[in-house]
Amino acid sequence: MQFFLNGLPIGAIYALVALSYSLIYAASGVLNWSQGDMVMLGAYVGFTVFSILKLGFTSALLLAMVAVAFLGVLVQYTILRPLRERKAPPINVVIATLGVAIICRNLALGIWGPDPQILPSPVSSRPFSLAGVSVTPQDILVLSVGITLMLILHFFLKNTREGKALRAVAQDRYAAQLMGIDPERSDAVAFAASAGIGAAAGILVAPIFFVTFNMGASVGLKGFVAAVIGGLGTIPGAIAGGFFLGVVESLAGGLISSGYRDAITFALLIVVLWLKPSGLFLRKNRQKV
Amino acid sequence: MKSIMSSRRGLAAFLLLLTGYLFTPYFVTNLYHLHILNLAGIYTLVVLGLNILSGYTGQVSMGQAGFFAIGTYVSALLMMNWSIPFWSASAMATVMAGLFGAVIGIPAMKLSGPYLVLATVGFGEIVRLVLLNWTPVTKGAAGLVGIPLPTVLGFVVTTEEHFFYLILASLLAGVFIALRIADSKIGRTYRAVREDELAAEAMGVNINRYKISAFIISAMFAGFAGSLFGSFSGVTSPDNFTFDESVGFLCMSVIGGNRSIVGAVIGAFGLTAVSEALRVFQGFRLVIYGGILIFTVIFMPQGIIGLFKRIRGNFSVKETN
């Protein structure tokens, strides 16, 4: 039970990262390998605002989200749009986003140096007992911010004009274009939202791990795994996949072996892909064309 | 591809290049540069397999470092623990990597796009994590030290120069085999599968069998390259086989041009050379490297070899796709 609960906060972070993959994938069919590095940049911007400029946690969170969202838009317009216009094969898009990841990682290394930085949590991480299990205020903060962001995203997609346009493009790019929606603009919205969510995940994960220039690789990969386990390109799938992965990791690490924890996760992933390629939590086995 | 070899100009250019390359150790006297060339040669073997997999059948693998690692560790451990000679150990390592290729090929035949990419990433990571944690056998993070040197006809390969010729010979053999595969019925079927799976199946092609065979071939190339890598380096650890390594192989494949065998050679040597040349930029080296990757995939969608073909028009090189 304790291991189960321990998995929830990290699960919320994986869910956020998974959302950021799924959002872009649903909107533009792009597999964005630089998503993990948006998480890393979010953590660094948050660290700069919080620990160096000494502004509060909320402003650190918001500034990081805005700054990284801006970068996401930049990537969409300068790199992905030309690729789409040239009808580049999907593998070229993968390499291009990997190139973005390499650039982000090494710029961060140049700016903030190789030493791990500490982004302290605004709340205590001393555990207290709640109904027989121990939780920390930090866990509660991660969960509440994470769930709030998911609700905001849900509201944005269902109730705003931009959100509806994005969903229309995700459903049928060509038809949406005929209806007067600019798909490139929708992609930019998806990239901005994804990068912003990733940055928030970076700030939430920073007090748990250190902030390092290569932290994005592992968090990014886990978020991608969560998105695929849940069903890539779907919002509920990403959330379910994130929490599922967090709990499975915690159980595997606590009950089986911490060294083999990630290996177990990946083995599980391959089995899921083999048996149910559309994800664990999708009823419909619909082929997204 | 056959046309390159059969056209007289192509063959002449190839022989000229090869003859020049044979004398490389006489003018590249800097051992570090020679070392880099040797590494590029070993990488080329991995990329050759990757091109058969991704360029010919259209299946992407971001886990080649896993097969590469299996090749290195299996051959090194066979040589160190049972004193098996290099070539037998290398052959067994190649077969072992091929077996793992079949293991990953079975789930992979149902997958495509991002799902296949992720499955192969997962495979590569599992291999690395097992090497890291299976300490009694693999010595964990410390890795293996003192991997024995190869022997060729009773002659022990020791120096960089010796390895240069051993690796060059392996590379030529690898290119030859890859060209033969690409030109055979198998290669043509691969391309049919890539272009239109349904149509190929309708023509009676057993798609699954061909997809798995492509994985096995690419794994064997990587496994053999790994066995060379182990003996060449003398030491190895799980750090040599990270996800970044797999990404590097994929970049070489795409930048060189993954639909061509020669593209593998160009990509592996070209990207290794670029990466070394950028060392003058120190901290910004990888930033520029990333920029070059992005620039290349946008402006040369078929890689460097595609650019050559576009420049030369429809000359003697017949379209291979």
Determine whether the interchain pair A232/B115 forms a contact, defined as Cβ–Cβ distance below 8 Å: yes
Residue with tokens 């189960």: A4
* pLDDT digits 0-9 by tens, A236-262: 889 999 999 999 988 888 888 777 888
The answer to whether residue B99 scores a pLDDT higher than 90 is: yes
Name the nearest CA neighbour of B110 among A22, A285, A88.
Answer: A285
Determine whether the interchain pair A259/B293 forms a contact, defined as Cβ–Cβ distance below 8 Å: no
By residue count, chain A amounts to 289
Determine whether the interchain pair A31/B123 forms a contact, defined as Cβ–Cβ distance below 8 Å: no
ipTM above 0.95, yes or no: no
Q: Return the pLDDT at B321.
A: 45
For B111, which residue in chain A has the nearest alpha carbon?
A277
By the 8 A CB rule, do A191 and A72 touch?
yes
The answer to whether residue A110 scores a pLDDT higher than 80 is: yes
Partners of residue B111 in chain A, C-beta under 8 Å? 273, 277
By the 8 A CB rule, do B96 and B74 touch?
yes
A86 close to B (CB below 8 A): yes
Determine whether the interchain pair B297/A92 forms a contact, defined as Cβ–Cβ distance below 8 Å: yes
CA dist A28 and A200 (Å) reads 22
Closest approach of A170 to chain B, Cα-based (Å) = 17
Name the nearest CA neighbour of B255 among A182, A95, A238.
Answer: A95
Determine whether the interchain pair A102/B287 forms a contact, defined as Cβ–Cβ distance below 8 Å: yes
Angle at B65 between CA B64 and CA B68, to 5 degrees: 90
Minimal Cβ distance to A260: which of B113, B119, B129: B129
Token representation of residue B25:
């150790």
User: What single letter denotes the amino acid at residue B11?
Assistant: L
Top CATH class of B2-312 equals mainly alpha
Which residues are registered as beta bridge partners of B236?
B144
Best to test chain B binding among A98, A280, A288 (most B CBs inside 10 Å): A98
Q: Return the pLDDT at A288.
A: 41
The answer to whether residue A16 scores a pLDDT higher than 90 is: yes
The answer to whether residue B127 scores a pLDDT higher than 80 is: yes
Determine whether the interchain pair A86/B298 forms a contact, defined as Cβ–Cβ distance below 8 Å: yes
For B116, which residue in chain A has the nearest alpha carbon?
A273
What torsion do the CA atoms of A152, A153, A154, A158 make, to the nearest 10 degrees?
A: 110
* pLDDT digits 0-9 by tens, B66-97: 999 999 999 999 999 998 999 999 999 999 99
The answer to whether residue A218 scores a pLDDT higher than 60 is: yes
By the 8 A CB rule, do A38 and A194 touch?
yes
Name the nearest CA neighbour of A226 among A206, A197, A246, A209.
Answer: A246
Token representation of residue B9:
């100009």
Q: Return the pLDDT at A287.
A: 42
CA B284 to chain centre: 27
Q: Return the pLDDT at A260.
A: 84
Q: Return the pLDDT at A14.
A: 93
For A233, which residue in chain B has the nearest alpha carbon?
B114
B123 close to A (CB below 8 A): yes
Residues 6 or more apart from A77 whose CB is under 8 A from it? A184, A188
Residue with the bigger pLDDT between A288 and A164: it is A164
By the 8 A CB rule, do A201 and A17 touch?
yes
Report, as an integer, the average pLDDT of B169-195: 87
Report, as an integer, the average pLDDT of B38-52: 93
The answer to whether residue B65 scores a pLDDT higher than 90 is: yes
Long-range contacts of A251-254 (CB under 8 A, 24+ apart): A251/A3, A251/A4, A251/A7, A253/A3, A254/A2, A254/A3, A254/A6
Lowest mean pLDDT: which of A220-234, B37-51, B128-142, B188-202?
B188-202
CA dist A58 and A71 (Å) reads 20
By the 8 A CB rule, do A253 and A261 touch?
yes
Minimal Cβ distance to B289: which of A102, A107, A262: A102
Phi and psi at residue A86, to the nearest 5°: -90, 5
Q: Which 257-276 residues of chain A touch chain B by CB within 8 A?
A: 257, 259-260, 262-263, 266-267, 269-270, 273-274
Q: Return the pLDDT at A104.
A: 93
Q: Return the pLDDT at A283.
A: 54
Report, as an integer, the average pLDDT of A14-23: 92
Q: Return the pLDDT at A282.
A: 60
By the 8 A CB rule, do B170 and B176 touch?
no
Closest approach of B152 to chain A, Cα-based (Å) = 38
Q: Give the global pTM.
A: 0.88
User: What single letter denotes the amino acid at residue B45?
Assistant: L
Minimal Cβ distance to A99: which of B106, B132, B293: B293
Name the nearest CA neighbour of B226 among B49, B103, B74, B124.
Answer: B74
Going from N- to C-terminal start, the domains of chain A cover: 15-220
Q: Would you place residue B316 in the very low, low, confident or very high pLDDT band (cuts 50, 70, 90)?
A: very low
Report, as an integer, the average pLDDT of A222-242: 89
Minimal Cβ distance to B118: which of A91, A106, A225: A225
A150 close to B (CB below 8 A): no
- Other residues' Cβ atoms within 10 Å of the Cβ of residue B282: 8
Going from N- to C-terminal start, the domains of chain B cover: 2-312
Best to test chain A binding among B297, B304, B307, B321 (most A CBs inside 10 Å): B297
By the 8 A CB rule, do A250 and A3 touch?
yes
Phi and psi at residue B151, to the nearest 5°: -120, 135
B247 close to A (CB below 8 A): yes
* pLDDT digits 0-9 by tens, A36-71: 999 999 999 998 988 888 788 888 889 999 999 999
Q: Return the pLDDT at B237.
A: 92
By the 8 A CB rule, do B264 and B54 touch?
no
DSSP H or E segment with residue A135: strand A133-135
Average pLDDT along chain B:
86
CA dist A287 and A167 (Å) reads 17
Q: Return the pLDDT at A65.
A: 92
Average pLDDT along chain A:
85
Q: How far apart are the first and last CA of chain A?
A: 41
If DSSP states are collapsed to H, E and C, what string results for chain B? CHHHHHCHHHHHHHHHHHHHHHCHHHHCCCHHHHHHHHHHHHHHHHHHHHHHHHHHCCCCCCCHHHHHHHHHHHHHHHHHHHCCCHHHHHHHHHHHHHHHHHHHHHHHCCCCHHHHHHHHHHHHHHHHHHHHHCHHHHCHHHCEECCCCCEECCEECCCHHHHHHHHHHHHHHHHHHHHHHHHCHHHHHHHHHHHCHHHHHHCCCCHHHHHHHHHHHHHHHHHHHHHHHHHHHCEECHHHHCHHHHHHHHHHHHHHCCCCHHHHHHHHHHHHHHHHHHHHHHHHHHHHHHHHHHHHHHHCCCHHHHHHHHHHCCCCCCCCC
Alpha-carbon separation of residue B315 from A203, B33, B309 (angstroms):
56, 35, 8
Q: Return the pLDDT at B313.
A: 67
